[in-house]
């Protein structure tokens, strides 16, 4: 049983005196259904789960007048063994994107206030079956992604006391004992070889077999490609698939990780493919990192239009685009060349995305200055440079000298925690999740 941080957030939602309906959003296979059903079983005397993909006929509950009394009556007729009692029953509307009226109904459940309703779905950011009336202002949101490294350690049998100890070393900027650091790097490489998709992690935990885990990764990737074929418009299907599958080449096959359309198709241009990139990001299959001209707050004001990097929203998907042998190289620490740099950049992007950050980077070809990530925190900008090994972070040092507003900077490297004379804080790769 995988322990997820979202369980705490779901409990906090239930404890609110005035709570709206809740939408748990995220890409397919990240564990939304599992998390909500576990929460329901632990927190309510009874629950009703309606999966609109599994039982499309249940959409009939939300036809006609969308008054709460009408919907409750329809629920009781369809599920006669359930009481559907205020405060006692959790109604879970899964794959809600398949039933526009159910999305609209969330407004009326919230306004009524007697019943607890959680909805979940993938592809909620695209126009597929868009409801005529979206419940703006009547719902709260939680976003779930794949497991981060802390959750992976829990799955490995390590308790929260250990991960809190690691966090305390991060905040105190103190190195961990050498033996602990070595063990954590070994676990981190294993995590990177698997990615954070719950089914992949659980399969490995059950079998200790990389081959079986690889099969699950590739199955999930095929599911994403099916979603593109099924949900994207006719004009976007092939283009979106090409863009998605090019991510591995963009990040691992060349030194400059800027997204270039020529690697999607010879002679490819933004005019043809940008709408497909936009579709992938709104479908939560990929995430932008925009290049900026300055490391100043607010970074959105300094974005260079059309100059970006694109990451998979979980490294499981990226790994499934490459040969199985890559996993062994990651786990054994024998990576080399552009692949090594691109992978470790992707691993850190994965950690930052799962921490809720929007991604930016700074690359100036004339000055040769490049900082892999810029994230915003407490009204300021924190630059992050990623090193697969222990190389110096020269661009980071130059940025700190030239930008007076930058007070804090991290070098993420194959090294223990340390603070340099230049003020750059070095942290091991596995601590990127704490930034």
State the Cα–Cα distance between residues 132 and 52, nearest whole angstrom. 18
- List per-residue pLDDT tens for the chain, 435 residues long: 799 999 999 999 999 999 999 999 999 999 999 999 999 999 999 999 999 999 999 999 999 999 999 999 999 999 999 999 999 999 999 999 999 999 999 999 999 999 999 999 988 887 655 666 789 899 999 999 999 999 999 999 999 999 999 999 999 999 999 999 999 999 999 999 999 999 999 999 999 999 999 999 999 999 999 999 999 999 999 999 999 999 999 999 998 999 999 999 999 999 999 999 999 999 999 999 999 999 999 999 999 999 999 999 999 999 999 999 999 999 998 888 778 999 999 999 999 999 999 999 999 888 778 999 999 998 899 999 999 888 888 889 889 888 888 989 999 999 999 998 788 999 999 999 999
Domain residue limits, the chain: 6-143, 149-196+279-434
CA distances 92 to 142, 256, 323, Å, are 14, 45, 39
Virtual CA dihedral for 136, 140, 346, 261, nearest 10 degrees?
-10
DSSP letter at 31? Answer: S
CATH architecture, domain defined by 6-143? 3-Layer(aba) Sandwich (3.40)
What pLDDT, on the 0 to 100 scale, is given for residue 369? Answer: 86
Report whether 30 contacts 145 (CB < 8 A): yes
Report whether 405 contacts 296 (CB < 8 A): yes
CA 23 distance to own-chain centroid: 16
What pLDDT, on the 0 to 100 scale, is given for residue 133? Answer: 72
What pLDDT, on the 0 to 100 scale, is given for residue 393? Answer: 85
What pLDDT, on the 0 to 100 scale, is given for residue 128? Answer: 54
Instruction: List the Cα angle 95/99/101 in 5-degree steps.
Output: 135
What pLDDT, on the 0 to 100 scale, is given for residue 357? Answer: 97
What pLDDT, on the 0 to 100 scale, is given for residue 403? Answer: 85
Virtual CA dihedral for 401, 403, 404, 410, nearest 10 degrees?
-70
Report whether 68 contacts 108 (CB < 8 A): yes
- Global confidence as pTM: 0.94
Strand partners, 311: 287
Indicate the burial class of 253 (C-beta count within 10 angstroms; 0-12, 13-18, 19 or more).
Answer: middle
What pLDDT, on the 0 to 100 scale, is given for residue 127? Answer: 62
Look at residues 300, 372, 301, 305 and name the one whose alpha carbon lies nearest to residue 343. Answer: 372
What pLDDT, on the 0 to 100 scale, is given for residue 329? Answer: 93
* DSSP element (H, E) containing 381: strand 380-386
* H helices present in 6-139, as ranges: 6-15, 32-43, 68-78, 100-112
Tokens of 288: 């932008």
Instruction: List the Cα angle 160/157/327 in 5-degree steps.
Output: 115
């Amino acid at each position: 049983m995988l322990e997820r941080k979202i369980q705490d957030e779901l409990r906090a939602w239930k404890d609110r005196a005035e709570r709206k309906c809740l939408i748990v959003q995220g890409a397919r296979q990240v564990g939304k259904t599992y998390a909500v059903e576990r929460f329901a079983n632990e927190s309510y005397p009874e629950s009703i789960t309606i999966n609109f993909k599994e039982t499309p006929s249940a959409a009939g509950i939300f036809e006609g007048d969308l008054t709460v009394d009408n919907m409750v009556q329809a629920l009781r007729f369809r599920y006669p063994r359930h009481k559907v009692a205020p405060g006692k029953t959790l109604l879970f509307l899964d794959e809600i994107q398949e039933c526009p009226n159910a999305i609209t109904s969330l407004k009326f459940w919230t306004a009524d206030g007697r019943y607890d309703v959680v909805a979940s779905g993938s592809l909620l950011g695209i126009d597929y079956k868009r409801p005529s009336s979206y419940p703006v202002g009547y719902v709260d949101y939680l976003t779930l992604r794949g497991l981060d490294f802390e959750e992976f350690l829990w799955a490995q049998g390590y308790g929260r006391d250990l991960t809190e100890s690691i966090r305390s070393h991060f905040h105190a900027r103190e190195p961990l004992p050498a033996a602990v650091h070595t063990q954590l790097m070994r676990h981190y490489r294993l995590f990177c070889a698997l990615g954070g998709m719950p089914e992949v992690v659980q399969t490995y935990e059950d079998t200790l077999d990389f081959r079986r885990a690889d099969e699950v990764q590739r199955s999930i990737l095929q599911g994403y490609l099916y979603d593109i074929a099924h949900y994207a418009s006719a004009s976007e299907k092939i283009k979106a698939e090409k863009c998605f599958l090019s991510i591995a080449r963009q990040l691992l096959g060349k030194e400059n990780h800027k997204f270039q359309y020529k690697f999607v198709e010879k002679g490819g241009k933004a005019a043809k493919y940008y709408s497909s990139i936009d579709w992938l990001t709104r479908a939560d299959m990929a995430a932008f990192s925009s290049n900026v001209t300055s490391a100043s707050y607010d970074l959105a004001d300094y974005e260079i239009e059309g100059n970006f990097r694109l990451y998979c929203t979980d490294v499981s998907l990226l790994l499934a685009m490459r040969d199985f042998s890559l996993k062994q190289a990651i786990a054994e620490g024998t990576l080399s060349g552009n692949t090594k740099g691109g992978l470790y950049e992707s691993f850190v992007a994965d950690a930052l995305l799962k921490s809720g950050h929007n991604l930016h980077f700074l690359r100036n070809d004339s000055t040769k200055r490049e900082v892999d990530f810029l994230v915003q925190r407490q009204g300021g900008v924190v630059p992050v440079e990623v090193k697969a090994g222990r190389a110096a972070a020269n661009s980071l040092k130059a940025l700190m000298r030239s930008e007076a507003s930058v007070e804090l900077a991290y070098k993420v490297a194959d090294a223990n925690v340390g603070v340099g004379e230049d003020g750059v804080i070095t942290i091991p790769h596995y601590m990127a999740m704490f930034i």
